[in-house]
Structure 1
Amino acid sequence: MKANNQKLSILEKIGYGSGDAAVNVVISSMFLIITFFYTDVYGLKATDMALMFLLVRLIDAITDPLMGLITDKFTTRWGRYRHYFLFLAVPFGISVFLTFTTPSFDYAGKLIYAYITYIFVTIMFTSVTIPYISLIGVLTSDPKERLSANGYRLFFAKVAAFLVSIIVPILAAKLGKNDLARGYQLAMGVMALMGTLLFLFSFFTTKERVEHVVDKTPLLDQFKLLIKNGQWTLLFGVCFTGTVGYVIRGSVAIFYAKYFLGGDASVQSTFMGTGVAAAILAMPVSTYITQRYCKVKLFKYTQIAVGAISLIMFLIIKPGDMLLAYIIYFILSFVVDLHAPIFWSAIAEAVDYGHAESGKRVSGLSFGGISFAQKFGMGIAGAAVGYLLDFFGYVPDGEQSQTAMIGIALMLTIIPGVFHVIMGGLMFRYKITDEYYETIKTKLNI
């Protein structure tokens, strides 16, 4: 259905962005904190942690498409997606708090508790994230407005990530002077409360304008249509490879700051914060560039550049070389995230592309599939970090060998850089430019 007003107010864009800030309380903690928390604070073996990350991803194979189908099936007086923020905000916050709580159990008991809480936070993450990433498709059908809204979204997401990276390690150290586990529980409790309030704010400040008639196609047929949508399958691969690279780098940043650079909690915090600050700056710069330059070209060439910058950082930074490490890590993180607003706008465009090509709309399953690609990438990356730490001989909270130091440096630079180059290469096959999307809008009358 054609919406009368496609323009979004500044308040609504802020409200939309606040939803991703809430989501990023979990994503950022998974990217930046949780691997270090499980090994150095909670006390899990790196290989046990890696296996958990892998096994829990099997649940996503069920819950992600299921949640996508649920959002397609049910609507309320608030629309198709927004009401999930209202009803699930509190359970979402509780799941985050419990995940970063260390119980006084023996090792087997702690491992079981870790599985239970990690599964809980994963399910809650799915339940709010799929409605959230679907929301942009019904706020407006104007590609410029979508791109602008996604600029706000990614900006607020990075602000949340910045708060997690800066506040959590320092606050945990202050609150847990004699009990770091207690410190992390309280610090992440603050973040969980913030996420809950942000979801509620997002609910009250956004409005669903565009009404898409959901096709009642059987599930198997929806899968077939989705697989035939070449632009969607391309974005699935882009999301997976990009997430693997992003999570490996983000997970290792705190290890790199502590062991390779020899920093305390303050250095660990500011080093992670430097990367996130660069990503925040990348959001408005990306929006500015894409108003004047092809968004697809910006996406693919920046990700290839990440590979080159990663190689340079690995070759020239030596242990303890703190100032230069901060500078290059800032540049690397800035270039990495120039693509982000483009990617999240592209998903909605790929859904419309499939609709225009086949005459049938597969929306919920499309967004559920992208969410699964992201979380599958997170699981593979988290497992890879655990197994690589073990392979390189990492000693939790101990003195590291030369091999372990090299391994940590590789995991921050070259290893994730390879995945970003692959992602950039895949985007050479993406064809939905702004001009091409106008033809899709005309065909769909949106």
Structure 2
Amino acid sequence: MEKFKLSVLEKVGFGSGDMAVNVVISSMMLIITFFYTDIFGLKASDLAMLFIVVRLIDAVTDPMMGIITDKFKTRWGRYRPYFLILAVPFGISVFLTFSTPDVAYNLKLVYAYATYILVTLIFTAVTIPYISLIGVLTNDPQQRLSANGYRLFLAKVAAFLVTIIVPQLSASWGEGNMQMGYKISMGLMGLMATVLFLFCFFTTKERLEHQPEKISVWHQAKVLAKNDQWLLLCFACVTGTVGYVIRGSVAAYYAKYYLGGGAGMISDFLATGVTASILAMVASTWITKRFCKIKLFRYSQIGVAILSVLMFFTVGQKDIAWAFVLYFILSFVVDLHAPVFWSAIAEAVDYGKVKNGERASGLSFGGISFCQKFGMGIAGAIVGWLLTYFNYEPNQAQTAFTLTGIALMLSIIPGFFHLLMGLCMFKYKITDAFYNEMLETDALAHEVNEDVILDTGSKSDDSHHDHPAFSK
């Protein structure tokens, strides 16, 4: 079977798409909660319901978008056209989400719901095709892993820009008006995302053609329910995202209130985490060329849980330098698994095709995207509820009880979810060796099957469940 290699330009082009996507993901994971409470002016208790409602909408739109990508194909391919069509609406939706209208509280809440739902819908319409794209660029697991290394590196660059440039520009461009500052600076991020999507469209090429199964949504769901490895990735996605978003959402509160810093420290603290994540993308690509990628996935997340406990018990309010050091190490270890996870999705889809004889790629990728956003919603709700429980009041001195709660939300609470993620991956078995053997054995089985058809005129009914790769 011919394996397609990708040029550096195409890997960069592929990564630029995730850089655009992460303008939204990074803002939702790292600054949206802080923006809504301390800048926009919403109550923490209202945020929990906002995040839950949006995730309920995702429960419908994510699978729907996956099915749409399965049904329609253009001369540009099945996935790439969405980057061209929705690039400008994506940028506008980001600008609107971070704009603050000068109206009464209830109307501001309605505006927050409307714009957050809008940006989420457009985000879904480009993200589902994007995460599906790697499966048709190349069939080489190492090329997929390498491309995802570029992708996640550039995604972290976007996160870096959002976390360090947005707070700084908001303070300087707003001239004391932080609401105006966030509107202008996030508008700039939206413009950048538009350009990046267009660059991704023009520099990538769909080489593989997976014929979608002509089966109903319900049947696709039943097919996926039989794919044990895909289900494990779903669980890992939810638990990992919950942990990541809780920590990311509270990082600004931790820098501002627990460490007692201003806008500069908030920016520096967030940038420290993102810088560590960028380095983790490089390190992960290097490590997985020499060691088992699945073992890296498992043990890095268990390490996160250990580091989280260490951070809670060893960092006091005056230990600023130590807080930065531990947060850097924690953020580095957290993201070592990321390139592995996103390359594993396409491999799990292929696994399901070989195991069950049917492919449900659209719903597979749509389901993973929903799991990610479901995790974001659950985490957002947890943050809202916990801030309310710990009696958080924006823009004023916090009680010892509140500060302890903020410290827990940065460390032990998210660390627990990463522990669950690492433990569940001990059931995951699609290593590179397993995947390559599976494809080779499946190709050989098809050749034998075709010979049987030529010799007897009838198709062999050998079960996919008897495939040698699944007996291990």
1:51 aligns with 2:78: no
State the Cα distance separating 1:175 from its structure 2 match: 1.2
Q: For 1:203-222, list aligned pairs within 5 A.
A: 203-222=201-220
Q: For 1:150-165, list aligned pairs within 5 A.
A: 150-165=148-163
Q: For 1:32-431, list aligned pairs within 5 A.
A: 32-431=30-429
Report the Cα distance in structure 2 between the residues aligned to 1:151 and 1:358, rounded to whole angstroms.
30
Are the aligned partners of 2:3 and 2:139 in contact in 1 as well (CA < 8 Å)?
Answer: no
The residue that corresponds to 2:461 in the other structure is none
Report the Cα distance in structure 2 between the residues aligned to 1:275 and 1:31, rounded to whole angstroms.
12
Are the aligned partners of 2:82 and 2:129 in contact in 1 as well (CA < 8 Å)?
Answer: yes
Which letter maps to 2:204?
T
Which letter maps to 1:154?
L
Are the aligned partners of 1:137 and 1:348 in contact in 2 as well (CA < 8 Å)?
Answer: yes
Report the Cα distance in structure 2 between the residues aligned to 1:442 and 1:125, rounded to whole angstroms.
37
Report the Cα distance in structure 1 between the residues aligned to 2:226 and 2:32, rounded to whole angstroms.
37
Deviations 1:149-175, CA, capped at 9 Å, x for gaps: 000000000010001000001110111
SS of the aligned residue for 2:176 comes to coil
Report the Cα distance in structure 1 between the residues aligned to 2:318 and 2:13, rounded to whole angstroms.
42
The residue that corresponds to 1:21 in the other structure is 19
State the Cα distance separating 1:445 from its structure 2 match: 4.1
Report the Cα distance in structure 2 between the residues aligned to 1:125 and 1:414, rounded to whole angstroms.
31
Which letter maps to 1:293?
F
Are the aligned partners of 2:252 and 2:266 in contact in 1 as well (CA < 8 Å)?
Answer: yes
Are the aligned partners of 1:17 and 1:157 in contact in 2 as well (CA < 8 Å)?
Answer: yes
Which letter maps to 2:392?
Y
Report the Cα distance in structure 2 between the residues aligned to 1:241 and 1:431, rounded to whole angstroms.
19
Report the Cα distance in structure 1 between the residues aligned to 2:91 and 2:349, rounded to whole angstroms.
30
Return closer, same or farther for 1:401/1:225 CA change in 2, 3 Å cut-off.
same
State the Cα distance separating 1:178 from its structure 2 match: 2.8
Report the Cα distance in structure 2 between the residues aligned to 1:440 and 1:100, rounded to whole angstroms.
47
Are the aligned partners of 1:302 and 1:424 in contact in 2 as well (CA < 8 Å)?
Answer: yes
Unaligned runs of 5+ in 2: 445-472
Are the aligned partners of 1:356 and 1:443 in contact in 2 as well (CA < 8 Å)?
Answer: no
State the Cα distance separating 1:442 from its structure 2 match: 2.1
Report the Cα distance in structure 2 between the residues aligned to 1:445 and 1:147, rounded to whole angstroms.
22
Return closer, same or farther for 1:313/1:255 CA change in 2, 3 Å cut-off.
same
Query: How many residues end up aligned between the 2 structures?
Result: 444
State the Cα distance separating 1:218 from its structure 2 match: 1.4
Report the Cα distance in structure 2 between the residues aligned to 1:439 and 1:152, rounded to whole angstroms.
26
Report the Cα distance in structure 2 between the residues aligned to 1:428 and 1:336, rounded to whole angstroms.
17
Deviations 1:284-342, CA, capped at 9 Å, x for gaps: 11011111100110000010000000000100100132111110100000000000000
The residue that corresponds to 2:463 in the other structure is none
Report the Cα distance in structure 1 between the residues aligned to 2:439 and 2:138, rounded to whole angstroms.
12
Which letter maps to 2:344?
A
State the Cα distance separating 1:439 from its structure 2 match: 2.2
Identical residues among aligned pairs (%): 65
Report the Cα distance in structure 2 between the residues aligned to 1:7 and 1:174, rounded to whole angstroms.
45
Report the Cα distance in structure 2 between the residues aligned to 1:266 and 1:68, rounded to whole angstroms.
41
The residue that corresponds to 2:448 in the other structure is none
Are the aligned partners of 2:69 and 2:362 in contact in 1 as well (CA < 8 Å)?
Answer: yes
Are the aligned partners of 1:352 and 1:440 in contact in 2 as well (CA < 8 Å)?
Answer: no
Root-mean-square deviation (CA, aligned residues, Å) is 1.0
- TM-score by length of structure 2 reads 0.93
Query: Which is higher, the Rg of structure 1 or of structure 2?
Result: 2
Which letter maps to 2:321?
L
Report the Cα distance in structure 2 between the residues aligned to 1:372 and 1:443, rounded to whole angstroms.
32
